[in-house]
Amino acid sequence: MATSNEVVVSHSVGLHARPAAVFAKTATTFSSTIQLENLTRGTEPINAKSVLLILSAGIQMHDRLRISAEGADEDAAVEALSQLITSDFAATE
């Protein structure tokens, strides 16, 4: 069973360059399969561990995202990645 959460991007540049790299790097620390879906644009889910896929998704400020994970550490993965976005990447500044 997968775990998921919906969040709204508050970072002024969305998930571009540094925020996308931080997001993907954090995602790779978990063993679960993690997907990111842009609900605002209605796009297909992408691999949240890929910086290139995150960048190509064109995620902007105010976009609503669904983060979902499936695996041994799915709850922790969704919580950590959701926190990154809702805190505007504050812990990484």
Q: 43-72, pLDDT tens digit by residue?
A: 999 999 999 999 999 999 999 999 999 999
The arithmetic mean of pLDDT across residues 11-31, rounded, is 94
Alpha-carbon dihedral 17, 60, 31, 84, rounded to 10 degrees:
90
Predicted local distance difference test score (pLDDT) of residue 91: 54
In the annotation, is 16 catalytic? yes
Superfamily of domain 3-92: HPr-like (3.30.1340.10)
Instruction: Write b or e for each residue in 18-30: b if 16 or more Cβ atoms lie within 10 A of its Cβ, otherwise e.
Output: ebbebbbebbeeb
- d(CA 67, CA 9) in angstroms, rounded, equals 12
Alpha helix stretches (DSSP H) within the chain: 17-27, 51-56, 74-86
- d(CA 73, CA 62) in angstroms, rounded, equals 28
What is the residue extent of each domain of the chain? 3-92
Kindly report whether the global pTM for this prediction surpasses the value 0.85.
Answer: yes
Active-site choice (5, 16, 40, 47): 16
Q: Please, what is the average pLDDT of the chain?
A: 93
- Per cent of the chain over pLDDT 90 is 82
